[in-house]
Structure 1
Amino acid sequence: MSSPASTTTDPRLSAHTTLRLGGPAARIVRAEGAAEVVDAVRSADAAGERVLLVGGGSNLVVADAGFDGTAVLLAGRGLSHERRDGTVVLTAEAGEDWDDVVAATVAEGLGGLECLSGIPGRTGATPVQNVGAYGVEIADLLVDVDLYDRRTRTVREHVPAAALGLAYRTSVLKGNDDAIVLRARFALRADGRSAPIRYAELARTLGVEQDSRVDPAVAREAVLALRRGKGMVLDASDHDTWSAGSFFTNPVLAVADAPVVDGLAAWPAGEGRVKLSAAGLIQQAGFGRGHTGPGGRVSLSTRHVLALTHRGGGTTADLLALAREVRDGVADRFRVDLHPEPVLVGCALRPAR
């Protein structure tokens, strides 16, 4: 029988988000493992309360009014390995810090996750968002997940990755609180080499050809250096890291609908489709690094225009006002709609004008 999850006395969700924004929850409980997560959610469901799962809070934008339900903090830890057919399957509990997981695999010479170094948050959120960076995404490595199904009140083990609808920065789990990730399994390389280096900027940094494979530790350090240069590695003293990461996803359009913009990065995205650089669109619409929002309390990062940052003393309303300004500016200039990547809790961007 599991011990009950503990209830915290400080209800502020701003203390649990990387933006350091968001009002109070009606109740916050800390769950130290999968069993405690299930118990906390079942208890909230029985009481008719809404539930918000909070890992590292790195992909949440919470309304200033807060959340009128129970926020469950994922704090369970645990890693294990199993060799299967020349690969190593890593099982990670949902509450594991994601970068700690990556660091542990690299330290053991396992390849695959190194390009996802420095991404804040907990492991349980990575399949939900199909987290990706530097040419690698969770869909490339995920084997399966264990889920708690709130509709049937049962735990579903080994739900295959193919059943999760993994696509660009999304899955069937995103925006749907009926199923909660309890743990995830990843297939890693056991030959001491990284995943193929597909991202051109990373390949240049490493001084290798694209699709080369390198020491995972070398790739990790290069990725961390690139992310630090963009203010994308958490640092409490650096307001450029008070963000939810990239706020907008790169838009994917039919080739016929894509604007022709000199110097704008673009990538093939399937037959007849192209993915455009959201950062490039933002810059060419006239929004530079450090562009400020209401009262200077929020701004685009001084190092990376895709990150909307909190400079201190701000509100979620301030952040959303800046997001709307940028989104509408891009739409006016290029007739391209940008969509937010973070999960918006109790708030929304009003429709584009």
Structure 2
Amino acid sequence: MVPLDDVRKLLAATGARVRDSVPLAGLTTLRVGGPATVAECGDTDALVATVRALDAAGIPLLLLAGGSNLLVADAGFGGVVVRVATGGVELGEDRVVAEAGANWDAVVAATVAAGSGGLECLSGIPGSAGATPVQNVGAYGVEVARVLRRVRLLDRASGEIHWAAPEELDFGYRTSMLKHSDRALVLAVEFALRTDGTSAPLNYRELAHALDAAEGQSRPAAPVREAVLRLRAGKGMVLDMADHDTWSAGSFFTNPVVPAARVDEVRAAVSAYMGDVTIPTYPAAGGVKFSAGWLIERAGFGKGFPGPDAPARLSTKHTLALTNRGAATASDLLDLARTVRDGVEERFGIRLEPEPVTVGVTL
């Protein structure tokens, strides 16, 4: 643990507000995580100055904004947590620029309210705007890589600030060159908007059906946003303090992409375990994408697993979410994640990969 007085002196001129022994459980959507020293940065200048100062001093830091994709150890974090509390949003005719700490759903809501389209399918996703390109956030047939114009980055090695184009970020399914790397810090993001107020093409069957539309059609952005929020809420994927199904990191496992050479092997394993069933799959770069939620449930881990008395359970609405029922620890959630991951691998030969970033713990 870095002495608090040393941190305060180091960051005195940065504009950051330093607090000691802050429970990180209160700053994450899983609501787990022990104490840490937190430096809160309310503007981009303070954020850049704070990160540069800590890097120059060799002090470990953890960047935290919305906290929606983090599983933090019960022991907390021994360095300094830099809270990205920047929130500026600038709307243009065909674009929106949001600072890294801006609430993502509020950004989407602002674009729809202004009569613009393009981001509505990404409504209701918890977390910050700056996190969206890091893991190439996606939902209901739209992902960030398709709508992003550019990202403003701080290169922590050189200290330089620059705008990077999407093609520089090596986007993939729920990943980018920014994920699992501490070289660059997202300061702001810019997205393209549809000026006619219509949505992105409805390429997700469930959403198109909810809107009584054919796949590939567009609809006015506002009703599409409303439909997405309804669908997400039905799966416990819209934050609600009163609903423990939303005390989660969203989808805990990514949908596995199986190389083409192994697809028949996986299908045979599923058939051997379940008999003749229709397995939902989707085309994907490098192979075929299987539904992680479908595999989890068919492997014997149903909604609410392992039962009503467990502190950590699968959501009662969606098997892909691991939830804190109010008193779970990081260890409880990890034990559940391992049970599910290992059970799916044993039955079907597919090893699920976690989506959240783990801090101080490993799956």
Q: Name the aligned partner's letter for residue 206 of structure 1.
A: L
Determine which of 119, 134, 141 is the counterpart of 2:140: 134
**Runs of 4+, deviation exceeding 4 Å:** none
Secondary structure of the residue aligned to 2:51 is helix
Q: Is 1:28 equivalent to 2:38 in the alignment?
A: yes
Q: 5+ unaligned residues in a row in structure 1: which ranges?
A: none
Q: Do the aligned partners of 1:196 and 1:213 also contact (CA within 8 Å) in 2?
A: yes
After TM superposition, give the deviation of residue 46 of structure 1 in Å: 2.5
Q: Is 1:234 equivalent to 2:239 in the alignment?
A: yes
1:146 counterpart residue number: 152
Secondary structure of the residue aligned to 1:332 is helix
Q: 5+ unaligned residues in a row in structure 2: which ranges?
A: 1-12, 271-276
Q: Is 1:270 equivalent to 2:276 in the alignment?
A: no
After TM superposition, give the deviation of residue 82 of structure 1 in Å: 3.7
Number of residue equivalences:
341
1:177 counterpart residue number: 182
2:98 counterpart residue number: 92
Determine which of 324, 337, 347 is the counterpart of 2:338: 324
Q: Do the aligned partners of 1:54 and 1:71 also contact (CA within 8 Å) in 2?
A: yes
User: 1:252-300 deviations in whole A, cap 9, x for unaligned?
Assistant: 01223122142321101136x1000000000110000000279600000
After TM superposition, give the deviation of residue 3 of structure 1 in Å: 5.8
After TM superposition, give the deviation of residue 177 of structure 1 in Å: 1.1
Equivalent pairs: percent with the same residue? 54
Q: Is 1:303 equivalent to 2:317 in the alignment?
A: yes
2:73 counterpart residue number: 63
Q: Name the aligned partner's letter for residue 284 of structure 1.
A: R
Distance 2:19 2:180 in 1: 25
Mean CA deviation greater in 36-45 or 225-234: 36-45
Q: Do the aligned partners of 2:14 and 2:49 also contact (CA within 8 Å) in 1?
A: no
Q: Do the aligned partners of 2:249 and 2:356 also contact (CA within 8 Å) in 1?
A: yes
Q: Is 1:106 equivalent to 2:115 in the alignment?
A: no
Q: Name the aligned partner's letter for residue 294 of structure 2.
A: G
Secondary structure of the residue aligned to 1:243 is coil
What TM-score, normalized by structure 1, do the two folds share? Answer: 0.94
Determine which of 243, 246, 249 is the counterpart of 1:244: 249
After TM superposition, give the deviation of residue 301 of structure 1 in Å: 0.1
1:191 counterpart residue number: 196
Q: Is 1:220 equivalent to 2:225 in the alignment?
A: yes
User: 1:210-248 deviations in whole A, cap 9, x for unaligned?
Assistant: 011001000000000000000000000110000000000
Higher strand share: 1
Distance 2:204 2:25 in 1: 34
Q: 1:147 to 1:203 in 2, by over 3 A?
A: same
Q: 1:265 to 1:12 in 2, by over 3 A?
A: same
Q: Do the aligned partners of 1:264 and 1:281 also contact (CA within 8 Å) in 2?
A: no
The root-mean-square deviation of aligned C-alpha atoms, in Å, is: 1.4
Determine which of 9, 26, 40 is the counterpart of 1:15: 26
Q: 1:293 to 1:316 in 2, by over 3 A?
A: farther
Q: 1:94 to 1:239 in 2, by over 3 A?
A: same
Q: Name the aligned partner's letter for residue 43 of structure 1.
A: A
Secondary structure of the residue aligned to 1:244 is coil
Secondary structure of the residue aligned to 2:112 is helix
Secondary structure of the residue aligned to 1:182 is strand
Secondary structure of the residue aligned to 1:80 is strand
Determine which of 258, 261, 264 is the counterpart of 1:256: 261
Q: Do the aligned partners of 1:294 and 1:318 also contact (CA within 8 Å) in 2?
A: no
What TM-score, normalized by structure 2, do the two folds share? Answer: 0.91
Secondary structure of the residue aligned to 1:195 is coil
